[in-house]
């Protein structure tokens, strides 16, 4: 284990100037916690977030959640279209940051930006590294059936999520945890963990622990097509999909050629071997045969309809016997 370069750690200022880089709601919660701490040792001098995006049915341009928090606290906010430019780098350096704090910013940072802070760039990563590196650690933990997850504060290096660990905090994964509920918990945990790590930096007591590369696992950015259910899979995995992809992109299939989203389900064991995707019974809840085991559908949503109980959906459609879901 080793500490930060001595030339930097020996000259830590009484007030550390921080540039915060993040975009979604989870990062906004972390930023709000940092600013709301009112700790005189830390000052967020600027925020960097993704450019405004068209949202909603009207496709109106809207700021990111992090930009909204920054505006509320009157923090200067940068929304660069491109970050690998000399102009952006110079603007970043003009704030003379001591620390760069990154939380779900959504872009890989070049070395020139990582070198900008006087002390170090650090990242709030929502998994227990080296497990679930990459863009979708929350979804990854649920899909893998992990019993616990957490937050890792790490030094950012050029290799994705591979930098030394500064601090890690864990929480158990509840049996019915969804992406939404877990992100909310990890946002709160991440805010607390960040403040702990910053306290160690300010006290010159930070210790860096290299990651175990042999234990590393990886996740990638989730796409809508990842949520399409393959009924040949294990019912346990499909049930995890319904939780990992709630609220987006939502586990989905088709019924009679029409889209059907599966919001909530329960896996159950079965020794039967009907064709995968077959609705084997519709009462009291529709049950679907999977490659291994069966899936009890609890809450679904048809195209153009609201979410509803699966038994109500089935009663309203008068399904033919042994109808199959998917293709």
Alpha carbon distance 318, 327 (integer Å): 20
* Residue among 178, 294, 184 nearest 241 (CA): 178
Alpha carbon distance 133, 161 (integer Å): 6
Number of Cβ within a 10 Å radius of residue 201: 23
Q: Mention every residue, 6+ apart, whose C-beta is less than 8 A from residue 114.
A: 100, 121, 156, 157, 158
Alpha-carbon distances of 227 from 126, 197, 292, rounded to whole Å = 21, 36, 19
> Do residues 263 and 301 touch, judged by C-beta distance below 8 A?
yes
Task: Give pLDDT tens digits for 248-267.
Answer: 999 999 998 999 999 999 99
Task: Give pLDDT tens digits for 215-255.
Answer: 999 999 999 999 999 999 999 999 999 999 999 999 999 99
Task: Give pLDDT tens digits for 48-95.
Answer: 999 998 776 667 889 999 999 999 999 999 999 999 999 999 999 999
Mind listing the domains of the chain with CATH numbers?
6-219 (3.40.50.170), 224-317 (3.10.25.10)
Number of Cβ within a 10 Å radius of residue 192: 13
Alpha carbon distance 100, 157 (integer Å): 12
DSSP single-letter state for residue 220 = -
Token pair recorded at residue 280: 């084997």
Task: Give pLDDT tens digits for 192-213.
Answer: 999 999 999 999 999 999 999 9
* Residue among 1, 12, 6, 2 nearest 198 (CA): 12
Q: Mention every residue, 6+ apart, whose C-beta is less than 8 A from residue 270.
A: 235, 289, 293, 294
Q: Which residue has the tokens 């459609």?
A: 317
Taking the model in full, what pTM does it have?
A: 0.92
Q: Which residue has the tokens 């909310």?
A: 184
């Amino acid at each position: 284990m080793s500490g930060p370069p001595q030339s930097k750690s020996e000259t830590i200022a009484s007030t550390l100037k921080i540039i915060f880089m993040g975009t979604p709601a989870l990062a906004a919660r972390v930023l709000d916690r940092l600013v709301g701490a009112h700790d005189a040792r830390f000052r967020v001098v600027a925020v960097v977030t993704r450019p405004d995006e068209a949202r909603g049915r009207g496709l109106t341009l809207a700021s990111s959640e992090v930009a909204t928090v920054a505006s509320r606290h009157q923090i200067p906010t940068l929304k660069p279209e491109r970050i690998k430019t000399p102009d952006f780098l110079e603007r970043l350096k003009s704030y003379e940051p001591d620390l760069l704090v990154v939380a779900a910013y959504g872009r890989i940072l070049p070395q020139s930006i990582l070198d900008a802070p006087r002390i170090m760039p650090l990242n709030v990563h929502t998994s227990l590294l080296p497990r679930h590196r990459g863009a979708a650690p929350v979804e990854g933990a649920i899909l893998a059936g992990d019993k616990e997850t957490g937050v890792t504060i790490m030094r950012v290096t050029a290799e994705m999520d591979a930098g030394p660990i500064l601090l890690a905090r864990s929480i158990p994964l509840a049996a019915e945890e969804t992406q939404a509920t877990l992100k909310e918990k990890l946002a709160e945990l991440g805010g607390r963990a960040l403040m702990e790590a910053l306290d160690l930096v300010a006290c010159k007591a930070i210790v860096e622990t290299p990651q175990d590369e042999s234990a590393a696992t990886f996740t990638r950015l989730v796409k809508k097509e990842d949520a399409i259910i393959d009924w040949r899979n294990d019912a346990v995995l499909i049930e995890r999909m319904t939780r990992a992809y709630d609220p987006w992109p939502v586990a989905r299939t088709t019924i009679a050629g029409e889209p059907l989203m599966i919001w909530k389900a329960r896996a159950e064991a079965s020794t039967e071997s009907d064709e995968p995707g077959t609705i084997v019974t519709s009462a009291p809840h529709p049950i679907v045969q999977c490659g291994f085991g069966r899936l009890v559908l609890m809450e679904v949503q048809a195209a153009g309809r609201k979410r509803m109980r699966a038994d109500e959906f089935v009663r309203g459609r008068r399904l033919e016997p042994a109808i199959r879901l998917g293709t």
